[in-house]
Structure 1
Amino acid sequence: MSRAPNLHALPYFEAVARRGSLARAAEEMSVSPSAVSQQIKLLEQQLGVKLFRRTGRVLSLTLEGELLAQTAGTALRMLTDAQTNLGRTRTSHRLNLRVSPSFGVRWLGPRLADFLTRYPDWDLRVDAAPDPTDFDREIMDMDIRYGTGDWPGLWCKPLVHDHILPLAHPDYLASLPAGDPLSHARLIDSPRAHVQWDFWLWHNDVTGANNRKTVLMDRSSMAIQLALDGAGVVLESMALATAEMQAGQLVPVCPHLPVLRFPAHWARCPARFVKRRPIQVFLGWAEAQAAAHANDMAALMALHGMQVEDIIPQAAWQQRPL
């Protein structure tokens, strides 16, 4: 066999070798027996060998036919599988995503049903974990992380802004002194937050909170729940407490003071990942969700007569008193 086999004729040969009959092969391929016979003759002429022995109506493979049949079936199955997988790739995608836990539960989670409705054939894995992804060791496509965007060696893009302000349950707020609500309030703080109570009080020149009691909560979701339970005033992000504010379960404690805004939740991954279609599609969807969310924040602030002040967290850290 000095030349490569005719790929057009190969499926006809494989069908005859497997079915043992021109008629049965023709029926399987929805052509006439003469068409199958013609393809076998062309293949034999091209290769210069006989592939079948014909004894009456019985066909049997020659030695050369056996050699070709051993690989033809496997090769055709591999081509069929590849075609199937390519078809699935056009309609189905896989995305492995890691997110900060509170962001995943309170912001991303309630929106994922919309994503899956729009892209029903996607395979999606979301890992809510406190530790950032090590892309060199872990199989992850993207990480949405709370931070300042300073991750050397990674592509980073701000996705959702934080809007920081003191929030409390209406009943708890009603129990505080009307003119000086923070003077005897229990302040709920988070050691992981970029803007904490000590900086917020100093930045807004709020005094008279010397008698305050402080509770440290490791997760924003826990801090928000504590405020919902009427246990104190939480300094928290509107991004994570939107639903509670819209329902009136949490209200601004100091609406006359500015809401501190900064980019806080970042999409990050190796630069070589950015052009992957799943990442591009997910980012486009997430950015549209973030834009709608920003409109919700603006509506809430307008409702309470609040203004925004943009800050840079790194500068806030440097200014924050020890």
Structure 2
Amino acid sequence: MRDLNLKATEYFEAVARLGSVTKASEELGISPSAVSQQLSLLEAQLGVKLFRREKQRLILTLDGDRLFQTTTQAFGAIRNARSAISLQRDRRNFVIRVSPSFGVRWLGPRVGAFAAENEDWNMRIDATPDFSAFETENVDVDLRYGLGTWNGVSVTPLMHDLVLPLCSPAYLERLRDIDPDPARQLAKARLIDSVKTLYRWDLWLAYNKIDIPDVSYPLRFDRSSMSIEMAKQGAGIALDSVTLCLGELERGELVPFSTAFDVIDFPAYWFVCPSRHLNRRIVMRFFNWMTAVSKKHDNAARAHLEGLGCRFRIGSPTDLIDVKPWGL
């Protein structure tokens, strides 16, 4: 390959592909004489004729055709790669990080609409419990579950969490057959623990003055999406977020364990980024879209719970002392 005249080979491929020295020179941006000179050098180097002339037309010889079949594939692949690189460079990238369960259960089913409205942007979404290190990572926006206590960044509330015990209708019927009193039902129920949520069973039981001796959690998960799925399958009661499972409630796959207990209502989902990122058009476009979609979803969740007879209690950070804002 060191001995091969690549410039002459490139000129040869253009002439053979276009069938004309003049057309090749126009594509290459050089004079026809320069193209002809390089063809002569290549033929001299290889020791064969690559073209023959017939009635003012250039016809590939057998050796020329063999060389052309190889070089046109190689240069074609190079041209395609160059075009792909240029396209990728010219397209704009938008990187979103999101808490895992919120990303899978809430953002995932909706973000396609935003992508369809912004087809000139490449979007990448990372679902991870790790908060973004904006100064060292290429992240535009973080949609984060927590208390909103992140310093040095812009933090805007998107939605409240609406937390209450949830289970399948069949599991609720089994508990009611055992005992009519909801508090005593809980003592005999399988409690599903979402270990990274802000409101867990110990806080909820204490607030509602329910004493369960030797409370245990036979099912524990570090993702709300798994806890919700297990409750839907009738494995027990999950204390979790209506924000993440409104669809299951609307379809009747999950029901409130009891409307005698208040729905805990507190801000939990946040739009987080450095203040300078808000100057980017795509970030503000996404912020406005998230605000509108979040409000619509929050209104629907509240209306559905009110229709079931639920009451709401406003939660506060003081309820969550010693609880860290884990990635849900």
Return the TM-score normalized by structure 2: 0.67
**Which of 197, 200, 205 matches 2:204?**
200
Are the equivalent residues in 2 in contact too, given 1:168–1:252 (CA < 8 A)?
yes
**Which of 210, 215, 229 matches 2:213?**
210
- Give the C-alpha shift of residue 142 in structure 1: 0.7
Aligned runs of 1:134-173 on 2, under 5 Å?
Answer: 134-173=133-172
**Which of 272, 278, 285 matches 1:268?**
272
Counterpart Cα distance in 2 of 1:20 and 1:95: 44
Counterpart Cα distance in 2 of 1:126 and 1:19: 46
Report the equivalent of 2:320: 317
Are the equivalent residues in 2 in contact too, given 1:168–1:228 (CA < 8 A)?
yes
Are the equivalent residues in 2 in contact too, given 1:184–1:213 (CA < 8 A)?
no
Report the equivalent of 2:288: 284
- Give the C-alpha shift of residue 19 in structure 1: 6.8
Aligned runs of 1:112-123 on 2, under 5 Å?
Answer: 112-123=111-122
**Does residue 1:241 correspond to 2:239, yes or no?**
no
Report the equivalent of 1:179: 181
User: What is the letter of the counterpart of residue 205 of structure 1?
Assistant: K
- Give the C-alpha shift of residue 152 in structure 1: 1.1
Give 3-state SS (helix, strand or coil) of 1:296's partner: helix
Counterpart Cα distance in 2 of 1:271 and 1:237: 29
**Does residue 1:110 correspond to 2:112, yes or no?**
no
Give 3-state SS (helix, strand or coil) of 2:101's partner: helix
* Greater relative contact order (Cα < 8 A, sep 6+): 2
1:22-65 residue CA offsets vs partner (Å, 9 max, x unmatched)? xxxxxxxxxxxxxxxxxxxxxxxxxxxxxxxxxxxxxxxxxxxx
Report the equivalent of 1:25: none
Count residues with an aligned counterpart. 238
Counterpart Cα distance in 1 of 2:197 and 2:306: 25
Give 3-state SS (helix, strand or coil) of 1:127's partner: strand
- Give the C-alpha shift of residue 167 in structure 1: 0.1
Q: Which moved more, 1:172-181 or 1:193-202?
A: 172-181
- Give the C-alpha shift of residue 194 in structure 1: 0.8
Structure 1: gaps spanning 5 or more residues: 1-14, 22-83
1:164-207 residue CA offsets vs partner (Å, 9 max, x unmatched)? 00000111111112323212111111221111111111112234
Give 3-state SS (helix, strand or coil) of 1:164's partner: strand
Are the equivalent residues in 2 in contact too, given 1:94–1:278 (CA < 8 A)?
no
Structure 2: gaps spanning 5 or more residues: 1-25, 33-85, 324-328
Report the equivalent of 2:306: 302
Counterpart Cα distance in 2 of 1:268 and 1:149: 9
Counterpart Cα distance in 2 of 1:212 and 1:303: 32
Report the equivalent of 2:97: 98
Are the equivalent residues in 2 in contact too, given 1:186–1:212 (CA < 8 A)?
no
User: What is the letter of the counterpart of residue 126 of structure 1?
Assistant: I
User: What is the letter of the counterpart of residue 318 of structure 2?
Assistant: A
Counterpart Cα distance in 1 of 2:311 and 2:30: 79
